[in-house]
Every structure is written in C-alpha cells, then in structure tokens.
Structure 1
C-alpha cells in the first residue's frame, strides 16, 4: 500500500497511457477519416485523462451506430407509409422538364439527391429570399398569424428574449385559437427559460428538446446537434435558412451602436417543396417525442401554386446513409462552368471540398468566398485562416466581411443554381450535425442572390496573397494549432 501511495501518479499515468494505446488501436481499426483520427490521437496523447474523457463521452460514435441506426430504420418505415401523402415520387417530372435549362444543366445534382435520399426536385413552388433577421421574422410572424391548422417550429437556437418572447406569445395565442403547435429545439444551444417552456405547455403546445444532455455548457461543441432552422405553417408555407430565434440575429433600429451587425439569409417557400420540409420535421418530432404523430390530410395539402421554381430539399445527419449536403455541394463545385460564389461563417472544409474549390479555380472557374473578418469563435477563426493561403495560391478570391458577423450559408453557381440552408462548410455540419438545405434551380433566384452577393462584397476586404504571407508568425502558429483541432470543431 505504501508503494502504491508513493507512486500513485506514476501508476495512474501508466494506466492512462495503457488505456490510451488500447483506445488508439480501437480508433485505427474503425477506419475513420484519417485527419479526424489523427486529431483524436493527438488529443489522447497530449492530454492525459482529459483526452480519454473527451474521447469516451464525445468522440465515440456509439450513438451513431446504435441510436441513429434504429432511427434510420424507423424513418424508412414511416416514409414508406407516408409516400402517397407526400407526392415524393416525381421522377416523371424530372424527365418531363429535362431540357428546361436549369434542370438540364444541373441534372447530376438532381439525380444525386434523388438517389441518396429519394428527394425529388419539385416544380410547383413560389420562393422569396429574406435578407437578415428583421425581414425573416416579419414574414414568419405574419404567416403564423394566418395559420389555420398547425405550426411546426424546429430550431437550433431558440432563446428567451425580445424576439423569442414575441414568438412564444404569438404561438400561445394561436394555440388558444385551436391551431396545433409543435416545437423542437436543440437542448444544448438554446436558452429557453423553464418559465417559457411551462407557459407554452400550459397552452397545449407540444414542445420537446433535441437529445438533452447533462452539463450542456460543457458539451456545447462536442455532441450531436440539430442545427436546422425551419418552420412549417399549415403544410403549404415553409421557412429554411441560417437565422435562429435569438435577438443576436435581428438588427433592430434601436439597437445600441456597439451591437454587432448580423448578416444572414433565409428562404420562404410555398408549394411542393414544403412537403419535404414537413417530412423532416415529423420524422425528427417522432424521434424526440417518442410517439408517432397521426398523419393528417392538412399536413400535406393540395398545392395550387402556378409558378415553376424548381426546388430540391437535402437533409443530412448521423442518421443518413450518405453525407447528402456535403456531396451535393461537392457535385455543384465539380460541375460548375462559370462561377461559384460562397458565403459561410465557418470555413473548415474537408479535403474533398478544399481540393474541389482549388481545382475549380485553377481550371478557370471564378471562385469567390466571403467569410467573417472576426467571427464569433476565436478557434474557428484561426482554423479558417489556416486554409486561406492554399486558396489564394490556387487563385480563389477570399473576402473578409467587416461590417459585422456574416452568418449566411449560401452558394450560387453559374447563374442557375442556388443553395440556402443551415449547413456550414465545416466538418461538424458535414458529418455530425443534423442539417437541411434548399437547392434551387432557377435563373431568377440565382440572379437575385448574385446581386445580393455583390452588395455584400462592398462590405468586404479582399485578401491578397502577398499581404497574407506577411502576417505575424504568432498568427501562423495559432492557425497551425487550431487546424489540428479542425475535424473536431
């Protein structure tokens, strides 16, 4: 016993590294992405005990292999049961509209999402691009006021606050009128007060957190998140994009001058594409509530939209067979012929996306990327900066947005394809989070988004390779260290 007490730290350290080497062997045998495995191994070796705790609680994929596999099988059964209600088998429409320009040019992407997720392109849609939170919430609140049957809300961040409380009050009023209200929010990211939750429940609102965990502040960046931001009203109006329910996202006129300007993009959709949003909401709500909602005709009403805006919805997460949104973005990059305009708050790409962007630029495609100058995460900023030199060397034009925080997650390609959604260009969005994006095949929308992009460029500073190379060595060291952690951010 005396020997044990005298050498306790050496014994514990030896035990730690014995477990570490066993864990490393386990990690190598599971053929994870090499860069991610290297980051995990680095954490295990560099952080005794802490590295093991991080790995055990957050890096293992036991939830992905068990919980989400069960969810996947469950979802497939539900989708088959709802198939006739959803009007999702529209392959004949793809064939019918082959040769209509935008669809013909991006048919590879259309087929990818159709084969990956059985998500067809839908044509009877009317869309409106909403710039910044004040415009998004103005439209959302107006539509909620007109709701007759149901309101479905699913958000990554749903905070009590000025905008959150206005929404809660409105939802309670509609619930009191007899409208069925269902709410899903990410447990870790949201800051809903218990008083607010109790109030909604007292009005009959069904509200459930997504995968609640212990010590949410400690797991903020290390567990699975439902990163989606969407709403469905009466089954025929949908909202999708990057704007959360939080005061931070709204540029009120009376905001103090020191309040950071928030630049974001959302999309309002009417039509068949809302059915795909509805499917994703119902599948997720069944999962978190533990019950199966009875499918009502009003969930999937008949659509009388005469307009022909082609929209395809892509959803991805740990429960999907493929990295659907990442593969769609990669396909869009690889099939581009003229230009690729990207806006993203977090650019921490995997090798496939990074290589594709650099190659596209080197073969003559005009590639532009807008990222925040400072952002809201120091380590993410340094990780992003570690990729800039390679981009600039390949001729990619990179711009720092300096007016405030640019949080939009958008892409415009060749004047015909637009992507708007919740997915960042980072490993977490591609592989860990639950995300959802709308892909629009429409020259009018692409032209509008290109004009928006050019307006945003006026609030940026272009990065020049010669100047970038002159940044301090301390910055380069921070970037190198942050990049080691990039696959885990």
Structure 2
C-alpha cells in the first residue's frame, strides 16, 4: 500500500501547488487590471438566434469590407465550415484588406498548423492569445479569452455566443439545432468593440493600433441605447449583482451553464424572497460531462424558493441572456457561471431600448415554448451516478 500513500501525497502536493498558483495569479491579475468603462451609446442592434442566419449576414458583411477586418473567436474548430471561414478571410486579404485574426490558445488549439500557415501566407495576421505562461502556469492555463467579436471597417460589429464550427450551423448530429444569441451592431458602440479588440491584440502581440485614425471612422447615431461591458474575471460579478439587487418585478436568466458565484446566487435568493419573479432557462442537453449536474444544487434552491426553471428541449441552448424588469437586457459572451464571472475575458452588451427588449422577450417566450418546466420533485432523488457527478461538479465548479 506504500504506492497508494505516495500517490495520495503527490496528489495533495499538486492540489496545494495549483491552488496557490491560482490564488496568487488571480490576485496579481486583479491588481493589474483596469478595463475601460464605456458610456451608453446609440446605434442599431439586430438580434440573431440561429447559426445559418448569423453567418449569412456575417459573410455578407465580411465581403463588403473595404479597409479592415478584425476577428476574435474563442473557438474555431478544425472542420469544413472552419475552412470556409478561413477561405473568406483569405479572399479579403488577397484584395489588400487588412485582416487580423485573434484566437484563444486553448479554445482554438485544434486548428491545424498548415491552416494557420496558409492564412499567414495569404497576408492574414493570425495570433494566439492567452497562452499559458510562468510564473502562474495553472492560473494562466485557466484564464481564457472567451470573447467572440468581429469588426468590419470600424463600422459594423458582431458580438455574442456563436463560435466557428459545424455545430454552430446545425451540422453536428448531436447538438443540432444549436440555439444561441448574437448581435449585429452599427453606430457609436462599434468604436468600443474596436477598442476592445485592439486592447486584446496589444496584450497578445505588444503592438498598439489604438491611435490609428483609419480604424475609428465617424459613426452615425442610431435609435437603440446600449452599453458594452468588457470584463476580465473581476468586473462581471459586481455589475450583475447590482442589477439583481435593483430588480423590482422580474429576472430572466438564459444560460447553458448555471453555476453562479455565491454572491450572485445569494442575490437571486434574496430577490425571490422579496417577491421578484425569477426564471431560469437552461438546456436539457449538455455539451460538458459535469456542468448540468453541477447546476442541480442551485436549481433546487431556486425551485424551493418559488422560482421557475425550464429546460430547453429542441437542440442545445447556448445563449447568454439576462433580462431585468423589462428595462435592461444583457446579451453577450459571458455564461452565468464562476468561470465567466471570475476567470475569463468576456464582453457583454446591456441594451436599454424598449423595442429591442420587447423583441427579445418574444424570442425568449418562443424558447420557453420549446422547453419543459422542471419541478422540485424532478430533482429530489437523482440516480447515484448523477449524485457523483453533481458532487464532482461542485468540487470543481470554479473551473467548469
């Protein structure tokens, strides 16, 4: 049994080392971070909820670009659709358009080297960001750029939950249809998306293009008021908790992963106690081995308190949406989980326009009609295997 004792000691040492690495790495990151605080802007926002619709608009705008294309995705897969994505970027680069592509090192790690080499040969600047680095190797491995942002000519922007791969256009045999929310943006806010992309680019490359006037053309004012909130694992919790605490009538949360930080979840519980209607929409289908089970603890408390929980049944629900009192709608890249709140780089859009909020409500109601309602007794006595996964999910909830 000596080998078992030795193995246990090694595991304990590795756990302690990883915990210290993560704590110190995040502490230093918090001290160094100073994200921009963007004001309320006015522009035009289009909500897109299916992959085919999104990428039809996306490629149309991509091929209309004349000067620059800036793209940031957390995930670009190694499949046929990803090849088409690269071909579109290369077509534009061949025309002399400046194309910059920023990819998260972990999320897009499966792209073949020959694809990157070919893209660079076509004139595209391809860079991987958030590579693991010393001295805090474990923390840097966990911290990822989860944003999905594209800016064409500094005039048209895209931001939301879709990545690039066959599942996002309903070609995956398991996760189809894929349900997600993405925004097409025109107007003043595009300059904020551009600035955030360039800040991420500077972090990854050391190159500063923030003072390039060609990247910040004059922008028209639109009808819809909105504000972008870029987060780096330290700002999201405060902002979301403030909105929850200010809610008077209703809170709607749509998310693929419902594993909120303790402070945010306590805020939701208090909201229910003061009479706010709290509704949570999550997928029944899961794309991760533990996240569904890790959410069960929180969903039971929501249900026991009088909140409502729905499971989306028509494919996989990956949208990230928060609606408060029909006054503010939050759509972006952040999931309602510890990783998005405390670790990842994210960007969300808070929309205050009544017309847009009304449209979003209709979309949410349609999604609820495709869902089944959960009751407390449904979660009261899960199978043993589910209990084990729930326990494991709670242990590792910070990193799911």
TM-score w.r.t. length of structure 1? 0.75
Task: Detail structure 1 runs of 4+ shifted over 4 Å in the superposition.
Answer: 7-10, 62-70, 218-222
Within 5 A, what are the aligned runs for 1:161-310? 161-190=79-108, 191-213=110-132, 223-252=142-171, 260-293=176-209, 295-305=211-221, 307-310=222-225
Moved more, 397-406 or 293-302: 293-302
Q: Which whole-Å CA distance do the structure 1 matches of 2:347 and 2:19 have between them?
A: 23
Gaps of 5+ in 1: 1-6, 17-46, 77-115
Aligned partner of residue 299 in structure 2, secondary structure? helix
Change (3 A) 1:68 1:412: closer
Change (3 A) 1:55 1:282: farther
Moved more, 352-361 or 181-190: 352-361
Within 5 A, what are the aligned runs for 1:11-410? 13=6, 48-53=9-14, 55-56=16-17, 60-61=21-22, 62-64=24-26, 72=33, 117-123=36-42, 125-190=43-108, 191-213=110-132, 223-252=142-171, 260-293=176-209, 295-305=211-221, 307-318=222-233, 323-410=234-321
Q: CA deviation at 1:222?
A: 5.3
Q: CA deviation at 1:468?
A: 2.5
User: CA RMSD, aligned part only?
Assistant: 2.6
Q: Which whole-Å CA distance do the structure 2 matches of 1:177 and 1:68 have between them?
A: 42
Residue pair 1:188, 1:219 contacting (<8 A) in 2 also: no
Aligned partner of residue 150 in structure 2, secondary structure? strand
Q: Which whole-Å CA distance do the structure 1 matches of 2:72 and 2:289 have between them?
A: 28
Q: Which whole-Å CA distance do the structure 1 matches of 2:29 and 2:278 have between them?
A: 40
Q: Which whole-Å CA distance do the structure 2 matches of 1:300 and 1:261 have between them?
A: 37
Aligned partner of residue 264 in structure 1, secondary structure? strand
Aligned length: 395
Larger strand fraction of residues: 2
- The residue number in structure 1 matching 2:342 is 431
1:284-315 superposed Cα distances (whole Å, 9 cap, x missing partner)? 1011112223632221111123x221111111
Q: Which whole-Å CA distance do the structure 1 matches of 2:310 and 2:191 have between them?
A: 36
Gaps of 5+ in 2: none
Q: CA deviation at 1:465?
A: 1.4
Residue pair 1:241, 1:265 contacting (<8 A) in 2 also: yes
Residue pair 1:58, 1:222 contacting (<8 A) in 2 also: no
Q: Which whole-Å CA distance do the structure 1 matches of 2:298 and 2:48 have between them?
A: 30
TM-score w.r.t. length of structure 2? 0.91
Q: Which whole-Å CA distance do the structure 2 matches of 1:8 and 1:469 have between them?
A: 41
1:109-156 superposed Cα distances (whole Å, 9 cap, x missing partner)? xxxxxxx84211112x01100112111111111111010110000110
- In our comparison, the structure showing a higher alpha carbon Rg is 1
1:150-193 superposed Cα distances (whole Å, 9 cap, x missing partner)? 00001100123222111111111111111100010011111211
Larger helix fraction of residues: 1
Aligned partner of residue 219 in structure 2, secondary structure? coil
Q: Which whole-Å CA distance do the structure 1 matches of 2:295 and 2:230 have between them?
A: 25
Change (3 A) 1:386 1:430: same
1:465 matched to 2:376? The reply is: yes
Q: CA deviation at 1:487?
A: 2.3
Q: Which whole-Å CA distance do the structure 2 matches of 1:312 and 1:160 have between them?
A: 34
Change (3 A) 1:147 1:479: same
Moved more, 327-336 or 225-234: 327-336
- The residue number in structure 2 matching 1:19 is none
